[in-house]
Structure 1
Amino acid sequence: MSHSVVVGIDGSAQSRAAAEWAATEACRSGRRLRLVHVGAAENGTRAQPESAEDCLPPSVLSVRDRIAAALPGLELSCVRMGGSPPYALAAAGEREGLLVLGSRGLGGFTGMLVGSVGLHVAAHALCPVVLVRADPDGGAGAAGDVVVGVDGDRLGDEVLAFAFEQAACRGATLRAVESRALPTGPYVTRAPLDQCEIRDSLAEAELVRLQDALACWHDKFPEVRVETEITAHPAGRALVEASRAASLVVVGRRTPALRAAVHRLGTVAHAVLHHAHSPVAVVPHD
């Protein structure tokens, strides 16, 4: 378990929602909360690699004070870091094991739910990155299932471990969604079955296969209720739709085997980050 939940904060509504989500996560998991602001000092002095709470913008200090007042038992720190925001935030999250960001920063374009910093960090960080979008009332949703996107051919242990842990600590149902289209037919069989019966049997077999693949994780987390769903819809579309009633959507990002290889988000993760209605966790895996 990581020692702290790290959240990047710049004073925007999205980063305030991220800080609130991270504070709740820290309390729920028994960890510390570390607020990190990357930028120049308020008094114009040159930014040091890391400095204490002095010289932080008032908007950042306001968020810190609000969380401290609401959660007096939470161990909380707030620091300013120098450097490039994507790299500084990724490094801070990797040291602790979990990074939380707002899904759009101060420089975001209208209509884009994820800014360039969030996309870069989600594509490069070697720790799970949760991106939180502020709702119209300025908060972030907390109720609902934990939804995880599953690729039945490449089940990522890191992704499933994160999803089950989140469901367990929330007391939530884990909903595993896999996109897999069945053959279009026509189906030929010696048995006296019509095409609909054959298709239903194939769909049931795919569902059983997914349930069997998750059985070992259910054994590790027996308190977690697991629901499985096979859908013919594209994975991104299915997960975005599932996010409407979710507290968190978890997607994987494959990390390149070579250190010098290009890191990038897959099409599914990219679509979910831009369009999900709930916070989204991007979890790197081999």
Structure 2
Amino acid sequence: MPYAVVVGVDGSEPSTAAAEWAAQEAQRSGRPLRLLHVGGTSSPAPGEADGVAEPLPPSVLATRDRIASVLPGLELTCEQVPGSPAYALAAAGGRNGLLVLGSRGLGGFAGLLVGAVSLRVAGLANCPVVLLRAGVDGRGGGAGDVVLGLDGDGACPEVVAFAFEQAAAQGATLRVLRSLTVPAGPYSTEAVVEQWEIREALEAAELMRLQDALAPWREKHPEVRVQAELSAWPAGRALVEASRSARLTVVGRRRPRLHPAAPWLGPVTHAVLHHAHSPVAVVPHD
């Protein structure tokens, strides 16, 4: 049985966008869709061993019914589980699933672009997490490239594999970005010319390294058109700008070695989550 696409729903506008994106992804990939609302249970009555589950909110049921009507052949379940939202959602995704979340739920502060629960899930989960903000295209099949940000060593096979698979499934170009910044030197005419030549040599060498890192994935996915680029901007800004025309932006998140269960997001991933103009996929890697 294929691993489910799990989406956290609470009736908020971002969670509705997330559910729509997740439904399209489940339909496209042939996976079941699991709508998950994390809520409490009522106190048990005297003599009862367990509490009685609270009914699902009407807004969550409305989301379920709308998806079922639009995609009647989709395997769809909708359930409520107790517990801490971040830990319950991270556990539901497991290691091989896909989690989809709105960037901010009903309980968040209106001024925050990404809520605490969404950030915590993105830092905790052992599977890829896709976050969508309200107002961001959540249809999961719009125009634009899949954008992938790679760091200097490019040794993140889980991240690269996810980006290639998404590009292949959506028939999109994969745009791979790597940031290369060269410190400015003296401002004499001779120094500027020398600095320009050094920069050109560094860019040529770095672009070749990037192409070499992508070569095995090109062979595995010959149907994917790949566009490798270097940016003079810092990585976070480069990815945010690229996300303006993207259908999905993919970034990595290293699993902590000392405390594997502790949530952690690097500064680039954190910046992209807060400012990207497209849905963002955070893929954990070792």
TM-score using structure 2 length: 0.88
Determine the structure 2 residue equivalent to 1:34: 34
Determine the structure 2 residue equivalent to 1:86: 86
Determine the structure 1 residue equivalent to 2:218: 218
Q: Distance in 1 between matches of 2:16 and 2:29?
A: 20
Cα pair distance change 1:283/1:95, threshold 3 Å: closer
Cα pair distance change 1:276/1:147, threshold 3 Å: same
Alignment of 1:129-278 (within 5 A): 129-135=129-135, 142-182=142-182, 184=184, 196-259=196-259, 262-278=262-278
Report the alpha carbon displacement of residue 260 of structure 1 after superposing the two structures with TM: 5.3
Name the SS for the 1:224 alignment partner.
coil
Report the alpha carbon displacement of residue 197 of structure 1 after superposing the two structures with TM: 4.3
Report the alpha carbon displacement of residue 139 of structure 1 after superposing the two structures with TM: 6.4
For structure 1, the residue ranges without an aligned partner over 5 or more in a row are 187-192
Alpha carbons 2:43, 2:52 under 8 Å: kept: no
Report the alpha carbon displacement of residue 49 of structure 1 after superposing the two structures with TM: 9.7
Name the SS for the 1:202 alignment partner.
helix
Aligned residues: 275
Q: Which amino acid aligns with 1:61?
A: L
Q: Which amino acid aligns with 1:113?
A: L
Report the alpha carbon displacement of residue 231 of structure 1 after superposing the two structures with TM: 0.9
Cα pair distance change 1:198/1:260, threshold 3 Å: closer
Q: Distance in 2 between matches of 1:106 and 1:227?
A: 39
Q: Distance in 1 between matches of 2:196 and 2:104?
A: 46
Larger mean Cα displacement after TM superposition, 145-154 or 98-107:
145-154
Cα pair distance change 1:154/1:226, threshold 3 Å: closer
Alignment deviations for residues 97-138 of structure 1 (CA, whole Å, 9 cap, x no partner): 110000111122233111111000001111111101121798
For structure 2, the residue ranges without an aligned partner over 5 or more in a row are 45-49, 187-192
Q: Distance in 1 between matches of 2:139 and 2:173?
A: 22
Name the SS for the 1:142 alignment partner.
coil
Q: Which amino acid aligns with 1:126?
A: N
Alpha carbons 1:50, 1:80 under 8 Å: kept: no
Name the SS for the 1:251 alignment partner.
strand
Alignment of 1:88-103 (within 5 A): 88-94=88-94, 97-103=97-103
Alignment deviations for residues 11-55 of structure 1 (CA, whole Å, 9 cap, x no partner): 0000000000000000110111000000135xx566x7997xx81
Alpha carbons 2:40, 2:83 under 8 Å: kept: no
Determine the structure 2 residue equivalent to 1:190: none
Q: Distance in 1 between matches of 2:177 and 2:139?
A: 26
Alpha carbons 2:124, 2:261 under 8 Å: kept: no
Q: Distance in 2 between matches of 1:140 and 1:213?
A: 28
CA RMSD of aligned residues (A): 2.4
Report the alpha carbon displacement of residue 212 of structure 1 after superposing the two structures with TM: 1.2
Identity %: 66
Q: Distance in 2 between matches of 1:239 and 1:32?
A: 31
Q: Which amino acid aligns with 1:279?
A: P
Larger mean Cα displacement after TM superposition, 150-159 or 26-35:
150-159
Cα pair distance change 1:219/1:141, threshold 3 Å: closer
Determine the structure 2 residue equivalent to 1:9: 9
Alignment deviations for residues 47-93 of structure 1 (CA, whole Å, 9 cap, x no partner): x7997xx8111000000000000011111000000011111011001
Alignment deviations for residues 248-267 of structure 1 (CA, whole Å, 9 cap, x no partner): 11110100223457431000
